[in-house]
A and B are shown apart, each in its own frame.
Chain A
Amino acid sequence: MTRGGPSVAVLDYGIGNLRSAQKALQRVGADARLTADPTDIAAADGVVLPGVGAFGRCSQALEASGLTEVARAAALDAGAGGRPFLGICVGLQLLFAASEESPGSAGLGVLEGTVALLPEGVKRPQMQWNRLDHESGHAGHPMFAELGDEPWVYFVHSYSAPVDGDTVATCEYGGTLCAAVARGSLWATQFHPEKSGDTGLAVLGNFVAAVAA
């Protein structure tokens, strides 16, 4: 098992399969730790906010773990070019203010807009591999270094974030969906890099490289 390398705090707030994210980050050279301790999180070189299941349940679990403000502050800092932060799946959606999935639940509100239900006419969830399309002007984003022209990644989601100026990659599924966002050192993926084989490991490796920089 890899030890050493830049330290990455994977926020452990009692949801889902965090072990995969931890193991994948370790595979690409990070000293990745599952933690809910604000002191550990403050000391880490980078922060990962995972998330699976419903937006509202994740929001409540984050609150119950006392990590809402910790996560918000870390994401805002990253968005301003500070310490790198990576949101994964619902961890991306939580960066926004709200979701149609859970109208009563607040997101972190670091990015603008509301997470919306996938379009009509396609199965929900999108539970499949899909090809990433780089938004024009973002093909050279460091998130995608060394990925090749047609990266395929694994999605599981029924809701997606708005496509706007922070969107760096999309996928086609009943329409053009937000697949990844970036603002400063704040990165987030709707897909699961920890479950996207070598392509996903490359994305995580790019994040760890940013953490180490």
Chain B
Amino acid sequence: MHTVRVIPCLDVDGGRVVKGVNFVGLRDAGDPVELAARYDREGADELVFLDITASSDARDTILEVVRRTAEEVFIPFTVGGGVRSVEDARGILRAGADKVSVNTAAAERPELVTELAAEFGSQCVVVAIDARRSESAPSGFEVFTHGGRTPTGRDAVAWAVEAEQRGAGEFLQTSMDRDGTRDGFDLEMLSAIGVATAVPLVASGGVGTLDHLVDGARLGGVDAVLAASIFHFGEHSVAEAKAHLAAAGVVVRPAAG
């Protein structure tokens, strides 16, 4: 049985959740661990923490978040943002994360994917691919780095194929055209990556409604759907999202009763 995972994403800056979180009943809406525990209770299958801390001297704060999360939350979680080396990844995994996600550093130096897979195993290595539509890229999709600001000239599908050969265990595919728009996933982009690769694929970028989650989950080759704002603002709980997916015929782990 193939089930689709539902993954809330938390952006963390200096150890605090950013991108407005608006929940009734949280003691501290900025505490990533408290929010993670809430999503766990609602039936989240997995969590992604994206560390967007700009200053390097504040980066150790994410390790403290990981350590505290590992004490409170017993579902898988991935940590990404600023992972540039095997040692960066080791620190995150030893603190209790299950997977690390690499993005800019891997696009700049693809050997990083090979090194991480050799050291920790592919199951720990998520390659995040931020891409935009581009007429210059053969597949029509180009990899962007540095939070979607910097074009790389690298074709997104070709990069996914290379990253898989280097040992990527999962792809986190974000359309930077759609990210933040709430217009829904870029289904063509997801399909292009899904057809070309065989490892699990997480769809990201643009979710504004529960139907958008269904659109992504129904697409062949997609194994998980990730969203941030529809969960953070309390518009929809993870349990509602799963009930909506199940009603549309998508097999999901039922939210805890």
Contact = CB atoms under 8 A, between A and B. Distances in A.
Interface string A53-72: 11001000000000000000
Interface string A160-196: 0000000000011100000000000000000010111
A175 to B, nearest CB: 11
Interface string B199-241: 1100000000000000000000001000000000000000000
Contact of A127 (B97, B200, B253): B200
B95 A154 contact: no
Interface stretch (A13-21, A110-118, A138-146): A13-21
Interface stretch (A40-48, A91-99, A197-205): A197-205
Most chain A beta-carbon neighbours within 10 Å: one of B45, B121, B199: B121
Where chain B touches its partner, the secondary structure class is: loop
Nearest to A19: B96
B148 interface: no
A52 interface: yes
Given A123-B198, A124-B198, A129-B5, A195 B96 contact: no
A154 B200 CA distance: 14
30 contacts: A17-B93, A17-B94, A17-B96, A17-B97, A19-B67, A19-B70, A20-B96, A23-B70, A23-B71, A23-B96, A24-B74, A52-B121, A52-B123, A53-B124, A123-B199, A125-B123, A127-B123, A127-B169, A127-B200, A127-B223, A128-B2, A128-B5, A128-B200, A130-B1, A154-B76, A171-B1, A173-B1, A196-B74, A197-B74, A197-B75
Interface of B: 1-3, 5, 40, 45, 67, 70-71, 74-76, 93-98, 120-124, 169-170, 198-200, 223, 253-254, 256
Interface of A: 1, 16-17, 19-20, 23-24, 27, 52-54, 57, 122-125, 127-131, 150, 152, 154, 156, 171-173, 192, 194-198, 200-201
